[in-house]
Amino acid sequence: GNESTVSITVVGASGDLAKKKIFPALFALFYEGFLPKHFTVYGYARSKMTDAELRIMVSKTLTCRIDQRENCGEKMEQFLGRCFYHSGQYDSEKNFAELDKKLKEHEVGRVSNRLFYLSIPPNIFIDAVKCASLSASSGNGWTRVIVEKPFGRDSESSAALTKALKQYLEEDQIFRIDHYLGKELVENLSVLRFSNLIFEPLWSRQYIRNVQLIFSEDFGTEGRGGYFDNYGIIRDIMQNHLLQILALFAMETPVSLDAEDIRNEKVKVLRSMRPVKLDDVVVGQYKSHTRGGINYPSYTDDETVPKGSLTPTFAAAALFIDNARWDGVPFLMKAGKALHTKGAEIRVQFRHVPGNLYNRNFGTDLDRATNELVIRVQPDEAIYLKINNKVPGLGMKLDRSNLNLHYAARYSKEIPDAYERLLLDAIEGERRLFIRSDELDAAWSLFTPFLKELEEKKIIPEYYPYGSRGPVGAHYLAARYKVRWGDVG
């Protein structure tokens, strides 16, 4: 039969995401030999650019990773030789038809598979889907479209978007990205849990006291204020990245590792959750702070942010899953920008050992004596378990030590970027790590009512200094559920 070729079109090719993530990920896949033999990469955007100019732009973003192999420069040249550019409007069927013609020239004599990556602002999204899907569908192989968040900003707008998408595409052609699902340690969650007898039986209310999902960045929204102000940290991080981790963490055992089986379980657990209550949320916004002679700006100092904006740059929330496994276990989320540190972690705090002989060694602070499993998603990936241990010597003193699986020490191979995994999966038609529309609906149902209330009531965020640990309100919220936040980093 005919050989096949895949055309990868990056719509929004001059944008930040394309430059920082998509092109470098495609090159990494090429470098490692994961791209099919025949492929072309097309950049599509409004600005006028020649193929040569696109190649210069892309070449600036490519790196050869740490194990600088000597053929890297050569590989880069080969990759860049497969990159082309077409300038067009995002809402022009005519411009996309021109692109289609160019794609056909590359595809001639082969089964043509087409992957479109829509990396464009939400206001032009639906028009672009329409135009792109017309040309996308004119290949004679498969057609897939990768879409990036924001997938709306509440249940209604998300449903409208889904409806529009489905006018032009089948659900199985739509690859909704949540790049946190492409992170190595998030993917490993299921392995950790379902392939280890020492964890699997403990994964319930019987042994787990609380679960914490923490996201922290040590920089603000500088330069992205225009986008961010319309969404805020809850939509930017919690409703998607942290909730997806939660779903994977808490779902029942899937029937198989098949994409539909896994996503069925994720939807089920999301639908077992209680919609978040305003009372169970603390919101914050960073304000300027001078440290070491440097003045760090307020969120509202950004010119693209409206003066007096109440958009949260920090939030903490308590969530609950009303099923038999998790009844009463608080799942605490915390996400913030411009905090003191950068990192993402899952922390699982276990219950006290009942009637433990050694409790007295910890005085009144029994929380300090419970086991805790920490999954450090990033940076410096690690999984460690805090256990109690006797301090060696003649006395009987206990302390806490870590059983530590530190990725950098254990594995010499560098961890691929999330976008590499996700792009490869899309090319291979693997849907496991992409969001199905019913999952998206369920996720929005949990957050939409209280987001509306938050905005209608114009709740004033708790201000916290840039570079601090965030609002103290987060500690009171946790304390209400007898939880103490773990310290990221």
CB of 148 to ligand BG6, least distance (A): 8
Cα distance from N-terminal residue to C-terminal residue, the chain: 54
Residue 309: both structure tokens together: 């904006």
Residue ranges in contact with ligand BG6 by CB under 6 A: 179, 217, 236
Is residue 241 part of the annotated active site? The answer reads: yes
Tokens for 130, please give them.
Answer: 């329409």
The neighbouring-strand residues paired with 333 are: 213, 317
H-run or E-run covering 45: strand 39-45
Give residues with Cβ within 8 angstroms of 251, minimum separation 6: 262, 265, 266, 268, 269
What's the one-letter identity of residue 428? E
Supply 369's token pair.
Answer: 């004596």
Contact between residue 19 and residue 419 where contact means Cβ atoms under 8 Å apart = no
Secondary structure (DSSP) of 318-374: EE-B-STTTTT--EEEEEESSBS--EEEEEEEEPPPTT-TTGGGGTT-GGGGS-EEE
Query: One-letter amino acid identity for 58?
Result: V
Q: Count each helix (H run) and each strand (E run) in the chain, helices first.
A: 16, 17
The answer to whether residues 4 and 39 touch, using CB atoms and an 8 Å cutoff, is no
The torsion angles phi and psi of 463, rounded to 5 degrees, stand at -80, 140
**Do the strands 331-336 and 343-350 form a parallel or antiparallel pair, or are they unpaired?**
unpaired
Residue nearest to ligand BG6 (CB): 236
CA nearest 65: which of 117, 16, 30? Answer: 30
Token reading at 191 = 């392995």
| Stated length of the chain | 489
Q: What angle do CA 423, 48, 6 make, to 5 degrees?
A: 30
Give the residue numbers annotated as catalytic, written as ranges: 241
